[in-house]
Amino acid sequence: MTSAAATPRRRYRSTGWGPFSTRTWRETGYLWVAVLLAPFALATPILAVALGAGLAVTVVGLFLAGTVVLLGRAWGRLYRGLGRGLLDVDVPAPVPWRRPRGRGFWAHLWAYVGDGAGWRGLAFCFLSFIVSVTSFVVSVSVLAYGLGAITYGYWYQFLPWQTASDGTRHRGAQIAPDWFVDTPARIWGLAAVGVVMLLVVWSPLTRGMVHLSRLLTTSLLGPTRASLRVAALEQSRGRAVEDAEARLRRIERDLHDGTQARLVAVAMQLGEAKEQLATGQEALVSRGGDLAPADATVTAVVPGLDLAGPLALVTTAHTGVKEALVELRELARGIHPPALEAGLPVALETLAARSPLPCTIDVDPDAQAAPAIEAIAYFCVAELLTNAVKHSGATGLYVLVTREVDAAGQAALRLRVRDDGHGGARVVDPTGDGRRTGLAGLVERVGSVDGSWELSSPVGGPTVVTIVLPVDVTHA
């Protein structure tokens, strides 16, 4: 897997050249810190493999091994900080670890053991040990040799005397058999080699060795391109959900403030016309006694006048407008319930008040989420209550809404709807023809924001539906 490209966080001003460069000494400092951390970092992947292989037969061992895998993320965070501070490379953090969507044993286990960022962190720990130790030994050896060669003219006189094969005694370093660095020419020659090693060789060699660590950091400790693509798609999906929710709210307001208001005005005008026609009909009847308005006697009083037909038409139109208003209110409520403007607790209390069955609503005051998430929660509860009333044979309903924080520190909204009916609810029709029940739409609605769904409905009841929704749809 290819990691996302790292971007420099800040640019250090590198003063000097070669061994006098601040960059060279920063990278040397990185080697010292890395070689001190390398043994401890290496122990983590060894521990993960050992625990996974040795304790695979036990449930505790599997989860313990998975926990060690997650330690790879911690090591990755530490090494990214070192790279940011000493190597001038800013590697973005991988996608945060997520709580398993399902609630089964294997879902939880896979969430730990199958964490890709954790395994990449463990791979970095293993490879970094090899690279760090090798880089440190090579860099420090060249630096020590250069400094030792330059200062050799001073400290060689403290070396012990050595006897050559011809019997002569020498005090100095022995480079080859019977070849000692103890003459002025040889001492100056060795100093010249030390200058070359220090000024020409050591700095580029150190930078080259450290660049291997930089490549490991950018390749293994950042997010993969696939995870970045998924994150971008999730954010795009979240924005689309929010835009759709905002658009529905605008449509609801337009229907409420525009179309509905005009229909109300038309209904009022038709009502007034109906009253005036009824008054005219009564006056017409009073002139003709007990005769109908269309009777010859009445038409003789007011020739050609018949109010029965227009009155019937206006009455029908008035009734139709009132029915249209009722349907429009239901339509607007289905698009975006106005009660949600006062918050999810108030909206759910409104649902409970309209329910034909006794319904208890228990909402945590902190159970707040983005408007799009609250709308999904509302419609899920509304659909579940409707299904319970129609199909469960229940005598009472209970709704619990709480806010929780998972192991990754992400907040979530938990909905729990329970009825005491006869149970047997299924997402897919149990008759075997593969038809989906009304719950399938709720599963899709919850899944659109990466929420989780759990249904428990044994025969004989009770039926319990648990839904977990992220509080922010853009980070679902």
Q: What is the pLDDT of residue 333?
A: 58
Q: What is the pLDDT of residue 79?
A: 92
Torsion of Cα atoms, 76 then 78 then 80 then 82, to 10°: -150
Where are the domains positioned within the chain? 18-223, 239-335, 339-475
Residues with pLDDT less than 70, the chain: 1-18, 52-63, 97-112, 227-228, 230-267, 269, 274, 276-277, 280-309, 311, 313, 318, 324-325, 327-339, 406-409, 428-438, 473-476
**Amino acid of residue 147:** L
Q: What is the pLDDT of residue 137?
A: 94
Helix (H) or strand (E) holding 62, with range, is helix 59-86
Which token pair is 280?
């005219």
| Selection from 124, 131, 43 nearest residue 91 by Cα | 124
Q: What is the pLDDT of residue 132?
A: 92
Contact 291, 285 (CB under 8 A): yes
Q: What is the pLDDT of residue 454?
A: 85
- The dotted CATH code for 339-475 is 3.30.565.10
The span from the CA of 252 to the CA of 246, in Å, is 10
Which token pair is 79?
């090494």
The pTM for the full model equals 0.56
CB crowding 15-41: b at 16 or more within 10 Å, else e: eeeebebebbbbbbebbebbbebbeeb
Q: Please, which contacts does 186-189 make with residues 24 or more away whose CB atoms are closer than 8 Å?
A: 187/152, 187/153, 187/156, 188/153
